[in-house]
Amino acid sequence: MHDDQHYLQHAITLARRNVEAGGRPFAALLVRDGQVLVEAVNEIHLSQDPTAHAELLAIRAASRQLGARLDDCVIYATGQPCPMCLSALYLCGIARVVFAASNESAAAFGLSTAAIYEQISLPLKDQRLPIQHVPQASMTALYHDWQARHAGH
């Protein structure tokens, strides 16, 4: 728990610097075996890329060093990871997520992603964003091809 506090305070310091530089109050640290591997801040203000969240940037940088699996890493984030970032954390196998500010505390500042969590919890047909499944038979053959090429990997 002491280490969690230390890393969260470090992330908050990075987020404060990001706000002072015109960015959003979000930062993330990726830590493995007590060592900070990556520090990242939200860079939407720099790139205009709406996916340039601190957690995703940290995952991308760490994956360049370690590969696609980050099973033994912990991510420390200033805010509750949004659904996009949380999905990415699951996909890369992060061992643990620790965050400082919840969606509830961020809501008053317009920084909550609770509404997106709510939408994606609904069946596809009930979500606000129209999502249409158009099955394509050729995808089954493509999946078989992929599986054959990756058998035993």
CATH number of the domain within which 8 lies: 3.40.140.10
Phi/psi-derived region of residue 9, left when phi > 0, alpha when psi is between -120 and 50, beta in every other case: alpha
* Number of domains composing the chain: 1
Q: Which domain holds residue 45?
A: 1-150
Chain segment 46-95, per-residue pLDDT in tens: 999 999 999 999 999 999 999 999 999 999 999 999 999 999 999 999 99
With contact defined as beta carbons under 8 Å apart, do 117 and 106 qualify? no
With contact defined as beta carbons under 8 Å apart, do 21 and 46 qualify? no
Q: Give the mean pLDDT of 118-122.
A: 97
Chain segment 90-118, per-residue pLDDT in tens: 999 999 999 999 999 999 999 999 999 99
Cite the active site residues.
55
pLDDT at 125: 95
Q: What is the pairing mode between strands 27-32 and 73-79?
A: antiparallel
Q: Can you tell me whether residue 57 is helix, strand or coil?
A: helix
